[in-house]
Amino acid sequence: MIRIAIIIGSTRPGRKGETVAKWVYEIAQKRSDAEFEVVDIKDYNLPLLDEPMSPMLGQYTHQHTKTWSAKIASFDAYVFVTPEYNHGTSGALKNAIDFLYNEWINKAAGFVGYGGASGTRAVENLRLVMGELQVADVKAQVGLSLFNDFEDFSVFKPAPQQEKSVNTMLDQVIAWDCGGFFHAASTRRRAKPGRHLDNR
Ligand SMILES: Cc1cc2nc3c(=O)[nH]c(=O)nc-3n(C[C@H](O)[C@H](O)[C@H](O)COP(=O)(O)O)c2cc1C
pLDDT at 200 over 60: no
Residue 195's pLDDT band, with cuts at 50, 70 and 90, is: very low
Residue 156's pLDDT band, with cuts at 50, 70 and 90, is: very high
CA 121–ligand 1 middle distance (angstroms) = 11
CA 84–ligand 1 middle distance (angstroms) = 5
Going 28 to 45 to 187 to 176, the CA torsion angle's sign is: positive
> What pLDDT, on a 0 to 100 scale, did the predictor assign at position 177?
77
Per residue in 42-72, pLDDT (tens digit) is 999 999 999 999 999 999 999 999 999 999 9
Residue 178's pLDDT band, with cuts at 50, 70 and 90, is: confident
pLDDT at 179 over 70: no
Compute φ and ψ for 88, nearest 5 degrees: -135, -175
Residue 121 CA to residue 23 CA, distance in Å, equals: 22
What is the 8-class DSSP label of residue 24? H
Residue 114 CA to residue 112 CA, distance in Å, equals: 7
Q: Pick the residue whose CA is nearest to atom 22 on ligand 1.
A: 83
Q: Pick the residue whose CA is nearest to atom 19 on ligand 1.
A: 115
CA 196–ligand 1 middle distance (angstroms) = 36
pLDDT at 109 over 60: yes
Comparing CA positions, the residue from 81, 69, 3, 4 lying closest to residue 40 is: 81
pLDDT at 34 over 50: yes
pLDDT at 168 over 80: yes
Residue 72 CA to residue 78 CA, distance in Å, equals: 9
Distances (CA, A) of 81 to 71, 120, 140: 17, 12, 14
Query: Which amino acids bring their CB within 6 angstroms of ligand 1?
Result: 10, 12, 15-17, 83-87, 115-117
Ligand 1 pocket test: which of 86, 87, 94 has the largest number of ligand atoms within 8 Å of its C-beta? Answer: 86
Ligand 1 pocket test: which of 85, 112, 120, 150 has the largest number of ligand atoms within 8 Å of its C-beta? Answer: 85
Buried (b) or exposed (e) across 175-192, using 16+ Cβ within 10 A?
ebbbeeebbebbeebeee
Mean pLDDT of 130-148: 97
Q: Which residues contact 94 (CB under 8 A, 6 or more apart)?
A: 88, 129
Comparing CA positions, the residue from 63, 52, 19, 16 lying closest to residue 38 is: 19
Q: Which residues pair with 37 in a beta bridge?
A: 5
68 burial type by CB count under 10 A (0-12 exposed, 13-18 middle, 19+ buried): buried
